Structure 1
């Protein structure tokens, strides 16, 4: 299967997601901060909201488009005994603080479904009291990897709460047939470096943005940038963003709606200056050079020779900008150029989109119109699709956070 992402907005063909499961019901409110959640989620409603979002995806994607559940991919890999033993060894070696060595013999005897349940939910059977915290953040598959052209960045989680997810992603990348041939294009992050997929945005085949955030370290950013620049990427824009929970990744304050149109949180993007550094190679000896840009908008326009339109998350009112960024108003996901999905509760952001030429549609309107006929973004004009996410947004992640595209046309 071809793995290829030429931009943030090229028409979606294949994507990896995770519909919330029982793991979100295992989040103890006393542990929610440690598990990187701001609130507890009601599992049944969150599942329904997520499945409804996927119905929008299917209506917009071509007939041969594919939506893969990450647990299905992992389960396929774990059916091979040697792969299963390899994975258990990785769990024991990579997570020494979990003391898994004491139950390694038990883990080796689990069937594929039981082992996957242990990794995601943290529990063994009723006869064995050994347990781990659940992994509720698996919902946010975006952070586990990033595809840039044909290269795949395997994320290195900054927080222990997400370390098992990183190992699940590595399992899939190395052992699932849809990634056959991709091993030569993998980018690893070693040591204490960290990088997460929410900080990586693909402008086009030659330009990539990487946020230096709460979750992506300077050393992680530079290490990945070097490897990208040794491939087909010509410019990496390192964007320094506030190291805060509310802006944990670059895509929580900045996403692409169209090829040269973005939704931005003004206080962290528009009002910041001299926070963008361009990394590029010297054409003679491949040394990495750098130059500073006064703004992200200016850097994008300089490198692409195209004007960019920055649409404000929350509109022009300061309070609604902060409120709607908190509920992921800036975290939209493009199904095609100018075709985006986001939480319906961010009403001022949708009003700003309408003022910039987007047709506003609810999830139900879009599905009714396009579920039974081919969707062509070239004929539809720009559309901003709102979907319900009252439970999903409690986990602090929007449509882009919940998707890992692996193929765009």
Structure 2
């Protein structure tokens, strides 16, 4: 059968993508716990779902197969033993809220159908969901009044971050923030047990058990032989080194890993919030990540003579580094907001630089970033705008909301 994973560029024609339609998990956000759950505001569920459906339809209208996380998970947990194992792991990794109620929680979750159990885990389990008479022995009178046994997972619609396809393998990521750490469990189970993937010997280049974090928003496939990874607020240099060693030791195609240091702020959460590839020689960029004359801290990692040692070259200029690794004479860096300091800051906050390429020179963007979108059009890029009043409240754009599983090889 055809291999189910293949991504060797950022811009190859997109064939299959993983999405998650926002569900009741966003309705379990409250002002008191927004910071804990990594949100700045509370989306309105009917509208965010409508906007997400529009996004999915825009992809499907271009011939992209859209697969959904909850459906894949339902198809994955086909045996009672696997369903129980999954429930136990989710409870185990939520132990700070469970307060000695693991068995009761497991009984509660397993009382649902597989599909409903998955949705319940995603939306979170409130303490009030459990019958009071069953909680008598749990010493709830000593609780801290936190309302959840299992936290909701409102960031799930950003499917880019928990895992990323690199070549014909996958990086199953160690998420940085506790609120998101359980998200990569879904991809771990899907890769191991879903019939679409389990029958293939899919290499895992990086695993979620590693002690240092990495997230998919920082992982960009620049070409068939070069990966760029942001050293960001969510991805550590140690994790990049680990991934590079695994790639160099276990496959032959990828020759370089480019580590790009970006400011460690919430606005610049991942590399793809400030930099994306949109054509063979065109990129979006937020000017604020560059110093004078385009200077940045960039490190080119390559195979060393010893498999456990990397050859590391330090670079300073992003444009020149991109030209060198991609073999290009010239490239075009298109500044978010046209480079205007006020417009750029506003549109970058609303993910004006977070474009999803679905083919060379064809991108999906948020409609609200109209200055950036017009600049793209003026430079020959086809822009497919999607509605974004509620989707943007989660601080992620079209690239953040999509995990490509299959892309076509580039023609050149």
The reply to whether TM is greater than 0.5 is yes
* 1:138-178 per-position Cα deviation (integer Å, ceiling 9, x unaligned): 01000011111111000111111112211112111211122
The residue number in structure 1 matching 2:24 is: 22
C-alpha distance in structure 2 between counterparts of 1:139 and 1:59, whole Å = 20
- The alpha carbon displacement at 1:109 in A equals 4.3
Bigger CA drift: 245-254 or 218-227? 218-227
The residue number in structure 2 matching 1:88 is: 87
User: Are 2:301 and 1:279 equivalent residues in the alignment?
Assistant: yes
User: Are 2:171 and 1:153 equivalent residues in the alignment?
Assistant: yes
**Match for 1:258 among 276, 279, 301?**
279
Report 1:293-372 matches (<5 A): 293-306=315-328, 307-358=330-381
Bigger CA drift: 273-282 or 137-146? 273-282
* 1:254-291 per-position Cα deviation (integer Å, ceiling 9, x unaligned): 01111221110011147552410000013576731100
C-alpha distance in structure 1 between counterparts of 2:62 and 2:340, whole Å = 32
Report how many residues are paired: 382
The residue number in structure 2 matching 1:378 is: none
Does the Cα contact within 8 Å between 2:231 and 2:262 map onto a contact in 1?
A: yes
Report 1:30-179 matches (<5 A): 30-61=32-63, 65-99=64-98, 101-102=102-103, 103-123=105-125, 126-128=129-131, 131-179=149-197
* 1:114-141 per-position Cα deviation (integer Å, ceiling 9, x unaligned): 3212210112784447632211100100
- The alpha carbon displacement at 1:189 in A equals 4.2
Bigger CA drift: 115-124 or 161-170? 115-124
User: Are 2:235 and 1:236 equivalent residues in the alignment?
Assistant: no
* 1:57-90 per-position Cα deviation (integer Å, ceiling 9, x unaligned): 11112xxx42001011011112321211221232
- The alpha carbon displacement at 1:234 in A equals 0.4
C-alpha distance in structure 2 between counterparts of 1:304 and 1:320, whole Å = 30
The residue number in structure 2 matching 1:7 is: 9
C-alpha distance in structure 2 between counterparts of 1:109 and 1:115, whole Å = 8
* 1:322-342 per-position Cα deviation (integer Å, ceiling 9, x unaligned): 111000000010111101010
Does the Cα contact within 8 Å between 1:17 and 1:70 map onto a contact in 2?
A: yes
Q: 1:175 to 1:30 in 2, by over 3 A?
A: same
C-alpha distance in structure 1 between counterparts of 2:58 and 2:368, whole Å = 17
TM-score by length of 2: 0.88
The residue number in structure 1 matching 2:215 is: 196
Does the Cα contact within 8 Å between 1:148 and 1:205 map onto a contact in 2?
A: no
- The alpha carbon displacement at 1:5 in A equals 0.2
C-alpha distance in structure 1 between counterparts of 2:385 and 2:88, whole Å = 43
Bigger CA drift: 84-93 or 15-24? 84-93
- The alpha carbon displacement at 1:350 in A equals 1.4
Is there any run of 5+ residues in structure 2 with no aligned partner, and where? 133-147
* 1:218-263 per-position Cα deviation (integer Å, ceiling 9, x unaligned): 2212111211222231000001111100011100000111122111
C-alpha distance in structure 1 between counterparts of 2:335 and 2:200, whole Å = 37
C-alpha distance in structure 2 between counterparts of 1:138 and 1:19, whole Å = 8
Is there any run of 5+ residues in structure 1 with no aligned partner, and where? 359-382
C-alpha distance in structure 2 between counterparts of 1:52 and 1:254, whole Å = 24
C-alpha distance in structure 1 between counterparts of 2:362 and 2:291, whole Å = 23
The residue number in structure 2 matching 1:407 is: 406
Does the Cα contact within 8 Å between 2:230 and 2:260 map onto a contact in 1?
A: yes
- The alpha carbon displacement at 1:402 in A equals 0.3
TM-score by length of 1: 0.88
